[in-house]
Structure 1
Amino acid sequence: MIRETLIKDMTVVKIPKVVRLQMNWIRVLSFFTKVSYPNGSYTVVSTWECGNHVEFNCNASSDTHMGYCCRTDFCNENVSNPFPPYSPTLPMPSSSSGSGDPPRAPSAPSATIAVVVVVPLVVLLLAVLSIICVSFLLHRRRHTQRRSDNQVEPSEKMLDANEVTFTSGSGSGNPYLRQRTIAREIILQEVIGAGRYGKVYRALWQGDLYAVKIFHTIDEQSWFRETKIYNEVLGPHENILSYLTADMVSNCGSTELWMVVQYHQLGSLYDYLNRDVILKKDEAFKLCLSTINGLLHLHAEIVGAHKKPSIAHRDLKSKNVLVKNNGECCIADFGLAVVQDIQDKTFTVPHGSRQGTKRYMAPEVLSEKIYHSNFESFKQVDIYSFGLVLWEICTKWETLNGTMSYQLPYQGMVQADPSFDEMKQVVVVANMRPQIPNTWHCDDVSSILQGTTDWTIYVVFLCP
């Protein structure tokens, strides 16, 4: 048997067990073998044998072997490692107990194996990730290029606001501004209008001007309805205000409801007529004709591939009509609009039937005798309001006898902000209408109006 002893220099030495000899001619051989490693370190392995055949190894001495023989009992008890001490850095080779077999060569270090295996895997993984990233970037670039090919370049967007055709989700405006990004990119400049819904700001985005309509939170339904009409219902038309996008923006803990639309520097028809302006016949005619064209587009039901349901505005007035640079008008503000379903002809009236601007309300709305189940009734209300807008335009029309000073409908008959009862008393009870000057009959004003909108001007004004 062999016992293992760890000596001070960290050399593992296997010491042969001492024995009692039965015959004095038998020798005990203690043999030491020095096993060296490539890094210069080594270990020593010892074996022992008994017999007369070990004579050859007795007193053997070399750089790698050392033998020692003796003949007496327990003569190898104090045998020790004859080689100088060292500090091995590699693991000691294993040896079978008492087998006498030489130790096996040490295995390669685990760190070397890890490097050989792991490094190629890491390189392969990085190569795969690089291929994926490059493929994604190329796909994104191609997608962006296709999308930009279908859009007008920013430098062209507002060179002439009246010549640009916009398309939204429904086709009424190019979505230059991407939702969820406008709040970070657009710059509000100044307030250019206000109403029951909130305020309108002139804004700057990428060097071009836009109008940002910011709704009060309590008027969320109007914002939602108008956004839905633009995105899902309303088709493109040159006499409908072009819509770009809408967004919800957090500002100092409160939520703002944004709607971004095309900017028209001439402002509303109300603002335009209030300026010191005298309309020539063709100018007034263009304002009238473009407004009615926009209203007819709203009222029309279109079937087919580009279908559009019939829409009643319900709040048509000069402040909701904008003047474009080319002298035409476009209709805006669809927060109170009613949409009739194409299939089943159903519709929902938001906020009740008596809604809108009181000064422009039709008699049947003021008297609450409108036929709520008949969609045509709401379209007729728009016609009445349009007649009042025509009257406002005509007040600035240059005739043989000059022009009138601009006035709002029923100005001088009611207060600046009339109540429902006051308007009902004037329009329904007293059956009064805005005054038609005699000069309009003497000039070509009424003839032109009669040729284009006789069903409006005469029904509303001359036949109360």
Structure 2
Amino acid sequence: MLGSLGLWALLPTAVEAPPNRRTCVFFEAPGVQGSTKTLGELLDTGPELPRAIRCLYSRCCFGIWNLTQDRAQVEMQGCRDSDEPGCESLHCDPSPRTHPSPGSTLFTCSCGTDFCNANYSHLPPPGSPGTPGSQGPQAAPGESIWMALVLLGLFLLLLLLLGSIILALLQRKNYRVRSEPVPKPGPDLGRDWSVELQELPELCFSQVIREGGHAVVWAGQLQGKLVAIKAFPPRSVAQFQAERALYELPGLQHDHIVRFITASWGGPGPLLSGPLLVLELHPKGSLYHYLTQHTSDWGSSLRMALSLAQGLAFLHEERWQNGQYKPGIAHRDLSSQNVLIREDGSCAIGDLGLALVLPGLTQPSAWTPTQPQGPAAIMEAGTQRYMAPELLDKTLDLQDWGMALRRADIYSLALLLWEILSRCPDLRPDSSPPPFQLAYEAELGNTPTCDELWALAVQERRRPYIPSTWRCFATDPDGLRELLEDCWDADPEARLTAECVQQRLAALAHPQESHPFPESCPCGCTPLCPEDCTSTPAPTILPCRPQRSACHFSVQQGPCSRNPQPACTLSPM
């Protein structure tokens, strides 16, 4: 590390960054988990120079060093995902953070000039908290006094400058009050939503169905019909706006998406008034509630699974219909609490509070959807249990974030399909289904932490257990297992699209019918295994599956079937 200082010194002259983009040194030591290369654009600085990266989302560089008794070794260097306290520093002034092992300390720094993270400016002297030993020479007493005087002078200068700025702002404000009318507040701040949103006197609140972080869902009645009312407190107007805008998109009507009725203002009492979303009510409740109370035969389970895939495929699809443009939408919070059961036993996807409009290929020129501000907004997700591995370890592809968020939804969909099938008695001919458990509940309990989920799903690459008896009730012996594994694959690009999940489930539900898989399937599908079957079908039955290249997000080589995987307590990816 210290021997490379001569090379770092050449970087500012070898790579010139545009004035509005920060350029930082980029390095990641072998074995470091996670990568920050998606936070910027890697630059080709030649074979004899270290790599550089041009930041996309901030003007701040960072560096991480591991300090031991013998030396300081660089661990990571690159761009931060946002400007934060410390980024205004001109130099890399490290501070101790953690102790990965006895005798070593991780130091980090943030700074806001080009290549400022090439090396640290200093390390703490011997005996300071968090350092394992001596680093660098001690400052002479005279130098300390001069340093104190310089700092005192800078502090007084800063106070003088701050006082001048405050005085100038006060004078400007007084001038504007005397000479100009006060400007109207923006479209959001100070907006009187109680005037803009029409109250519905005939809207009645009955009972609370569910309470969330930003809203409370009530069961009620509107003009004699049962409805669900999502009531937001006044402080959550931004969340109300975002969800309302999605529900009011043209063309967002589908049997398996909860139907939006209207927006209003009101509440169950005069002191609880706020913006409201009035939605279709499904008395059977959420998928979670239904699965805890009921088991479902093979046909009913497939009806729930297929309708869920159809709803998600519709959300993900970018389409024009009857002259109206519907953008692709990522849900980002698929869970069994946010899926409802319709009267016919099919599913309807609800709660678009975290849903995000995705970049499109055919959108009209006048279409200007609100774009997420930075990586943190893109990687925001809902229920931790259903978060994809790339969200847990923050490696989501930020260059193509629209497709990446679709793939993350598919992982959540796979866990919901597993929960539905786990309550199907036809898949357990030798015993009754066990009590309902959420995905990973058997391994991590009711409230797993993000660290526990990361260790299980990312580090160990484990997935919910698939019983061997599930082989019996599929179009082919490994149909259900392959479907789930192709949806929760560790590699996001290897996962199926929602459309292909829909088509595979349709083939399982109606094996005698032909289903137009993408790029077509050249052979017919075999019938279902009989209900009393307890063994694998005869080897002469050859199942038909679509080619993986037609079903996956990216083109894969080889047929749709997967390589055999070793069995274990949890199904590996």
Q: What is the distance in 1 between the residues matched to 2:303 and 2:479? A: 11
Q: What is the distance in 2 between the residues matched to 1:341 and 1:411? A: 35
Counterpart for residue 271 of structure 1: 289
Counterpart for residue 381 of structure 1: 408
The alpha-carbon deviation at position 197 of structure 1 amounts to 2.7
**Kept after mapping to 1: 8 A contact 2:207/2:218:** yes
Q: What is the distance in 2 between the residues matched to 1:197 and 1:323? A: 23
**Kept after mapping to 2: 8 A contact 1:200/1:213:** yes
RMSD: 2.7
- CA offsets 1:342-361 (integer angstroms, 9 cap, x no match): 33898733762142110000
Counterpart for residue 382 of structure 2: 356
Quickly say closer, same or farther: Cα 1:217–1:359, change in 2 above 3 A: farther
**Does 2:303 match 1:302?**
no
Counterpart mapping for 1:331-410 below 5 A: 331-342=349-360, 343=363, 348-349=371-372, 352=377, 353-374=379-400, 375-399=402-426, 400-401=429-430, 402-410=432-440
SS at match of 1:303: strand
Quickly say closer, same or farther: Cα 1:301–1:419, change in 2 above 3 A: same
Counterpart mapping for 1:184-263 below 5 A: 184-233=201-250, 235-249=252-266, 252-253=270-271, 255-263=273-281
Q: What is the distance in 2 between the residues matched to 1:416 and 1:243? A: 32
Counterpart mapping for 1:27-426 below 5 A: 180-182=198-200, 184-233=201-250, 235-249=252-266, 252-253=270-271, 255-275=273-293, 277-303=294-320, 305-342=323-360, 343=363, 348-349=371-372, 352=377, 353-374=379-400, 375-399=402-426, 400-401=429-430, 402-426=432-456
SS at match of 2:351: coil
**Kept after mapping to 2: 8 A contact 1:278/1:398:** yes
- CA offsets 1:9-53 (integer angstroms, 9 cap, x no match): xxxxxxxxxxxxxxxxxxxxxxxxxxxxxxxxxxxxxxxxxxxxx
Question: Which piece of structure 1 moves more, 443-452 or 201-210?
Answer: 443-452
The alpha-carbon deviation at position 206 of structure 1 amounts to 2.2
Q: How many residues align?
A: 285
**Kept after mapping to 2: 8 A contact 1:321/1:331:** yes
Quickly say closer, same or farther: Cα 1:234–1:371, change in 2 above 3 A: farther
- CA offsets 1:245-266 (integer angstroms, 9 cap, x no match): 1123375456422110011110
2:487 to 453, 456, 459: 456
- CA offsets 1:199-252 (integer angstroms, 9 cap, x no match): 211102222111101124443322211100111255211010000011233754
Quickly say closer, same or farther: Cα 1:254–1:322, change in 2 above 3 A: closer
**Kept after mapping to 1: 8 A contact 2:301/2:424:** yes
The alpha-carbon deviation at position 433 of structure 1 amounts to 1.1
Ranges in structure 2 where 5+ consecutive residues have no aligned partner: 1-195, 496-569
Q: What is the distance in 2 between the residues matched to 1:200 and 1:188? A: 10
**Kept after mapping to 1: 8 A contact 2:332/2:354:** yes
Q: What is the distance in 2 between the residues matched to 1:240 and 1:355? A: 19
Quickly say closer, same or farther: Cα 1:449–1:219, change in 2 above 3 A: farther
Quickly say closer, same or farther: Cα 1:453–1:347, change in 2 above 3 A: farther
**Kept after mapping to 2: 8 A contact 1:197/1:216:** yes
- CA offsets 1:139-160 (integer angstroms, 9 cap, x no match): xxxxxxxxxxxxxxxxxxxxxx
What amino acid is the match of 1:303? W
- CA offsets 1:27-85 (integer angstroms, 9 cap, x no match): xxxxxxxxxxxxxxxxxxxxxxxxxxxxxxxxxxxxxxxxxxxxxxxxxxxxxxxxxxx
Quickly say closer, same or farther: Cα 1:354–1:179, change in 2 above 3 A: closer
Q: What is the distance in 1 between the residues matched to 2:279 and 2:272? A: 22
Quickly say closer, same or farther: Cα 1:363–1:315, change in 2 above 3 A: same
What amino acid is the match of 1:456? C
Question: Which piece of structure 1 moves more, 449-458 or 412-421?
Answer: 449-458
SS at match of 2:218: strand
The alpha-carbon deviation at position 179 of structure 1 amounts to 5.4
Q: What is the distance in 2 between the residues matched to 1:307 and 1:214? A: 29
The alpha-carbon deviation at position 386 of structure 1 amounts to 0.3
What amino acid is the match of 1:281? W
What amino acid is the match of 2:342? K
Quickly say closer, same or farther: Cα 1:214–1:434, change in 2 above 3 A: same
Q: What is the distance in 2 between the residues matched to 1:227 and 1:416? A: 32
Length-normalised TM-score, structure 2:
0.46
**Kept after mapping to 2: 8 A contact 1:245/1:259:** yes
What amino acid is the match of 1:433? R
- CA offsets 1:102-125 (integer angstroms, 9 cap, x no match): xxxxxxxxxxxxxxxxxxxxxxxx
What amino acid is the match of 1:382? D
SS at match of 1:319: coil
Q: What is the distance in 2 between the residues matched to 1:187 and 1:255? A: 13
The alpha-carbon deviation at position 419 of structure 1 amounts to 2.3
Larger radius of gyration: 1
Q: What is the distance in 2 between the residues matched to 1:254 and 1:339? A: 31
**Kept after mapping to 2: 8 A contact 1:338/1:347:** no
**Kept after mapping to 1: 8 A contact 2:230/2:278:** yes
Q: What is the distance in 2 between the residues matched to 1:202 and 1:409? A: 28
**Kept after mapping to 1: 8 A contact 2:462/2:572:** no
SS at match of 1:412: helix
Quickly say closer, same or farther: Cα 1:457–1:284, change in 2 above 3 A: farther
Q: What is the distance in 2 between the residues matched to 1:364 and 1:341? A: 20
**Does 2:451 match 1:434?**
no
Q: What is the distance in 1 between the residues matched to 2:258 and 2:330? A: 15
Question: Which piece of structure 1 moves more, 311-320 or 196-205?
Answer: 196-205
- CA offsets 1:153-178 (integer angstroms, 9 cap, x no match): xxxxxxxxxxxxxxxxxxxxxxxxx9
Question: Which piece of structure 1 moves more, 393-402 or 328-337?
Answer: 393-402
Q: What is the distance in 2 between the residues matched to 1:462 and 1:346? A: 40
Question: Which piece of structure 1 moves more, 423-432 or 223-232?
Answer: 423-432
Q: What is the distance in 1 between the residues matched to 2:488 and 2:458? A: 18
Quickly say closer, same or farther: Cα 1:449–1:457, change in 2 above 3 A: farther
Quickly say closer, same or farther: Cα 1:363–1:454, change in 2 above 3 A: closer
Q: What is the distance in 2 between the residues matched to 1:346 and 1:229? A: 10
Q: What is the distance in 1 between the residues matched to 2:397 and 2:234? A: 31
Quickly say closer, same or farther: Cα 1:186–1:355, change in 2 above 3 A: same
Q: What is the distance in 2 between the residues matched to 1:308 and 1:412? A: 40
Ranges in structure 1 where 5+ consecutive residues have no aligned partner: 1-177
Q: What is the distance in 2 between the residues matched to 1:261 and 1:223? A: 13
Length-normalised TM-score, structure 1:
0.57
